[in-house]
Amino acid sequence: MGVATITKSHVLVVPFPAQGHINPVLAFAKRLASEGIKVTFIITTNMSKSAKISDCGSITIDYISDGSEEQVKEPETIEAYHKRIKAVFSANLADFIQSSLGSPAKLVIYDSLMPWVLDVAQERGLLGAPFFTLSGAVNSISYHLKQGSLKFPYEDSAVSLPALPTLQINDLPHLSHPFMRSSLTALKLYVGQFLNLERADWIFINTFDMLEKEVVEWMASRWPIKTVGPTFLLQQKDDKFSNHTINLFEAKHDSYKEWLDSREIGSVVYVSFGSIASPGKEEMEEMALGLIKSNCYFLWVVRSSEMDMLPENFNPEKGLIVEWCNQVEVLAHRALACFMSHCGWNSILEAVSYGVPLITMPQWTDQTTNAKFVEDVWGVGVGIRVGQNGIIGREEIAMCIEQVVGGERSIELKRNACNFKKLANEAVEYGGTSANNIQDFVSKLMS
Ligand code: UDX
């Protein structure tokens, strides 16, 4: 990891405005900056109002309006909303590029969910590189949806796609969740990533070769795609836990660190559903009772918007509830036994990179596919089964915790997770696959 002294190239980085998309791209951007590249990281002005931005090193943070702060008189559909936001952001990004000609950018790196950024960049003579923030498996499924080799709504009960295991309907990305309001919105986002991919100058993906070997090879045989993950591990050693420096949520205090310090090795169940997913009230109650039933210590992230879904007067003797935490630091803690997760891709990468087994409780989109890989392909976790009433029950939760913490499968799950921990670290260390891909990109960009 060399720190160059001369800035040779200027790169604009445009993340998709959600925590789970900002984190991996920001970590990558920081690594580029540490290699001597000038990086301007662009977030929306609307997001900047609520984001807590701490030390981003030598990266410059800049702001562009996407018009989402404007009051719209007529009620609009989600489609119309996205169209409007895209039009405003594109125009403002074009102006931004124009106005920074004093220090012209050479390349725009953008979240692949916003393929139109490539058009804005190339129209102004800049290079463009999409960054895929989801897994290789999910991205290749999106490509098959675009090609029509996989139909949506899904038609067959089991699907066979190149370089992927047989997937049941429930393992495929769950595009119809109410959060997306319309399954078409999610479908368009996923499929849209491939509409102009052949024009991209570089393509990055936040995964590592040894985790998704077959599907990454399959993708690389079609596009010049380069694995650069897990990007959160790319931090300098002394900056290891401070990668999430643009936070849309706040850890009110860090007393959970002391709480963890006082727990025994491998004794705590960590529970988090990331930054968007929100289980319903009934499910939250079952989770609360299941956690108590397991008799394990637990640290549970319940965002302030979900607090009132907890059972009344919930004050568990062995549990600690926090509104937000430094997840990477928590996962690295010796007290961790396992992670009960909604299976967002960042959470999966972070868990396997610290050798923490998982209990999966996917909610929607890519999470169902990620859960399938955790359980059946990598063997690093067990899945909570939904009961006949459509929700998960406390007994099932307690039973899954028992299996992973000291139960029959616990040793095997831990062994597999520790194997991926080793492979993830090897990928980003000097000479590793992700590190080499980054080095190669940096040399080409600077030449
Ligand atoms: C979103 C989508 O919902 C998910 O399906 C997709 O895979 C990525 O984008 P999100 O739901 O927020 O992400 O989940 P995840 O991918 O796990 O990202 C959450 C991020 O927030 C992680 O980097 C995690 O470390 C961080 N986090 C979470 C914290 O720092 N503190 C917390 O308390 C909880």
Q: What is the pTM of this model?
A: 0.96
The pLDDT tens digits for 272-316 are 999 998 888 999 999 999 999 999 999 999 999 999 999 999 999
pLDDT at res. 237: 55
Q: How many CA atoms does the CB half-sphere of 243 hold within 13 Å?
A: 28
pLDDT at res. 3: 45
pLDDT at res. 4: 43
Query: Are 80 and 62 within 8 A, CB to CB?
Result: no
Distance from Cα 89 to the centre of ligand 1, integer Å: 24
Distance from Cα 344 to the centre of ligand 1, integer Å: 6
pLDDT at res. 391: 87
pLDDT at res. 179: 58
**Which ligand 1 atom sits closest to the C-alpha of 276?**
11
**What is the rounded distance in angstroms from the CA atom of residue 112 to the CA atom of residue 129?**
8
pLDDT at res. 326: 94
Given ligand 1 and candidates 275, 330, 348, 352, which is best to mutate, with the most ligand atoms within 8 Å of its CB? 275
Residues with pLDDT less than 50, the chain: 1-5
Q: Which helix (H) or strand (E) is 412 found in, with range?
A: helix 410-428
pLDDT at res. 182: 64
Give strand pairing partners of 204. 131, 226
Q: Which helix (H) or strand (E) is 382 found in, with range?
A: strand 381-383
Distance from Cα 24 to the centre of ligand 1, integer Å: 10
- What Å distances lie between residue 78 and 10, 182, 185, 316, CA to CA? 35, 8, 8, 40
| Lookup: tokens for 350 | 């972070």
pLDDT at res. 177: 62
Distance from Cα 176 to the centre of ligand 1, integer Å: 20
Work out the widest C-alpha separation in the chain, in whole angstroms: 63
The pLDDT tens digits for 258-284 are 999 999 999 999 999 999 988 889 999
Nearest CA to ligand 1 atom 20: 20
CA-derived radius of gyration, the chain: 21
**Which ligand 1 atom sits closest to the C-alpha of 322?**
33
Helix extents (H) in 61-204: 78-99, 116-123, 136-147, 183-192
